[in-house]
Amino acid sequence: MKILMRPCCFSLLFLIFFSAGEGVSATVFTLQNSCSYTVWPGTLSGNAGPVLGEGGFALLPGASVQFLAMPGWSGRFWARTGCTFDEFGNGKCVTGDCGGTLRCNGGGDPPVSLAEFTIAGGNSNTNSDKDFYDVSLVDGYNVGIGIKPTGGAGDCHYAGCIADLNVNCPPELRVVDGSGAVVACKSACDAFNTPEFCCTGDHAMPATCAPTQFSVMFKAACPSAYSYAYDDASSTFTCSGTDYLITFCPTTGI
């Protein structure tokens, strides 16, 4: 297993091991902070799976952290920004907050960019030998994020959003901080809460929920990321037998 570290920078390394039968290999997730500021990654596990990183932690600029997940694990990662926590882990984040606590026990508040995974070996996979992964902007955007498979077999494409969507976020979707700076860009569903933007009600099927001017803008900026609920064809990727590098504020898609 290769450990990604920067010798001149603070590097945080967590290794979490779970018992498993013989011949079962774990997937290594490496989270890398390439932002110029500290982020507080949040983690959420599905299917009552083990919670990685105790749900949340601080990650300094240039630092990385690793987790092991056993076959069948599913969940998501995201970056929180502008966080302040007290000695008991209580506080608040400007974006991606998860209930005012360092150790998330739920998902991040929109708008938030998400890295989502279902690892092979679980009952939820239709093809049990394949991992499924994506970067989603369905809940909006706060920080650039990318997923790079390392090794493995299959399509194994890079997925992510390298562009800074906050720069060109339409006025009606902007989230600003106390200084007026744009810190996140809402999804149209979050901003307007109507069936045509949320793919609900009469628009709850692919045939009746088409891309909107806002999702088209997201897709043009980040072609390999989900831009709205039914953007599966160009946004869901598969790979087998791989580890994953998840980068916050990526500068390249390779």
What are the φ/ψ torsions at residue 176 (nearest 5 degrees)?
Answer: -115, 155
- Residues composing the chain: 254
pLDDT at position 152: 86
Average pLDDT over residues 116-132: 78
pLDDT (mean) for 80-106 = 96
Write down the pLDDT at residue 11: 31
Query: If pLDDT is split at 50, 70 and 90, which confidence band does 123 have?
Result: low
Residue pair 111/175 in contact by the 8 Å Cβ criterion: yes
Q: How confident is the model at residue 122 (pLDDT cuts 50, 70, 90)?
A: low
Tokens of 176: 């600003």
Q: Is the pLDDT of residue 161 over 90?
A: yes
Homologous superfamily of domain range 27-162+223-248: Thaumatin (2.60.110.10)
If you average pLDDT over residues 168-188, what whole number do you get? 96
Question: In percent, how much of the chain has pLDDT > 90?
Answer: 80
Q: What is the mean pLDDT of residues 49-71?
A: 95
Q: What is the pLDDT of the chain when averaged over all its residues? A: 88
Residue given tokens 């599913």 in the structure block:
74
